Amino acid sequence: MFIAHLPAGYLISRFIARGRPAQSDAILATGIVCSVLPDFDLAYFYLVDGRQTPHHGYWTHTPLFWLVVATVLALMLTMSGRRNQLVLVWVGLANVMLHLLMDSVAADIRWLHPFSDLRVNLVHVPALYKPWYLNFLFHWTFVAELLIVLSAAVAAAIDWRRWRGRAVAVPAIR
Ligand SMILES: [Zn+2]
């Protein structure tokens, strides 16, 4: 998916942040960054690899890599007595997995790598237009992306109003 990763990350992260007011800012920030974290490999794709391998084929787009990273981080936090920050690892992992799930719609993701080379690609987007990204913009899956963006925009507007209401109310009480 193109534009829906970050909005979807916002939606799942604000859900996880509910009931954790002390950590909600950190949860939202971590979740939003991690919602697009796998695509940081595009820098390698363009700058180093010379667009030789599709970036969905890199280990940064394999679930096991992120499971290992999350497990190591969780162990480090636990051993250093910072268990209250474990929620940040889980929100990060949830967002990365959601990213890979969304990528599996129109791109092929190797969910079982390195144990199997099975590629999960739910919908094949035919190459009809140039430049290449128009194939995705004119495909029906883009409607799903727009719906996610719209849902996140509504949620963000609600959160913004709530936040402003609180920011205005606090000085009034004092
Ligand atoms: Zn991706």
Give tens-digit pLDDT for 28-48: 999 999 999 999 999 988 898
CA of 79 to the centre of ligand 1 (A): 32
Cα–Cα distance, 160 to 166 (Å, whole number): 10
CA of 56 to the centre of ligand 1 (A): 6
CA of 103 to the centre of ligand 1 (A): 6
Q: Considering only CA atoms, which of 101, 89, 88 is closest in space to residue 4? A: 101
CA of 163 to the centre of ligand 1 (A): 31
CA of 48 to the centre of ligand 1 (A): 18
Specify the 3-state DSSP secondary structure of 13: helix
| Residue boundaries of the structural domains of the chain | 5-173
pLDDT at 167: 77
Give tens-digit pLDDT for 136-153: 899 999 999 999 999 999
CA of 30 to the centre of ligand 1 (A): 17
